[in-house]
Amino acid sequence: MKPALLIIDMQNDFLLPGAPAEISGAIKIVPAVKKLLYFCRERKIPVFHVIRQYRYDGSDIENFRREGFLQNARYLVPGTPGAEIISELKPAEGEYIIVKPRFSAFFCTELELILKRIKIDDIVICGVQYPNCIRATALDSVSYDYSTTVITDATAGADDEIEVSNIRDLMNIGVKCVTFKEWSKQI
């Protein structure tokens, strides 16, 4: 198996306290994601930083978010500090940055093309948040026949109940849900 790491939405506007799209409690996983990132870097496992960005005019945001985005707070706008990857996880030279327009890292991106080109068959996912981008990416990964793993202690949901429910559901579609320690022993 040849793995690749997908780090999903670890951006200031999702993580920093008081940020306009803050996911409650997501900041707690930063040390675990950093540990996973450095582990993969040491082993030359390809790393994909998958991020969201929205145009300032809201023309590319999901319909259900558009009104709030335009009236309350614009977030994840390219070139703003909020759209940047949190400083602890800044991409290194040679790591991929994939901008996704919706929940899944596969939807309307070049991710699948690059994965095939570099002969990846094992997707490892971490980041935020379970019921949306993590779940959609994992489901698409399984649909494309990748071996798929979610690193549970490096992935967050808005609360424990959401995390537990999504882990159970992901396991039911064939996604391995393990801790970093469990996964790292297999590599």
Question: pLDDT, tens digit, for every residue of 35-63?
Answer: 999 999 999 999 999 999 999 999 999 99
pLDDT category, 187, cuts 50, 70, 90?
Answer: confident
Q: What is the mean pLDDT of residues 70-89?
A: 95
145-154 pLDDT tens trace: 999 999 999 9
Domain limits for position 98: 3-184
State whether the Cα torsion 115-39-100-139 is positive or negative: positive
Q: Number of structural domains, the chain?
A: 1
Please give the mean pLDDT across all residues of the chain: 96
Looking up residue 71, the CATH number of its domain turns out to be: 3.40.50.850
pTM of the model: 0.96
| Amino acid 10: pLDDT | 98
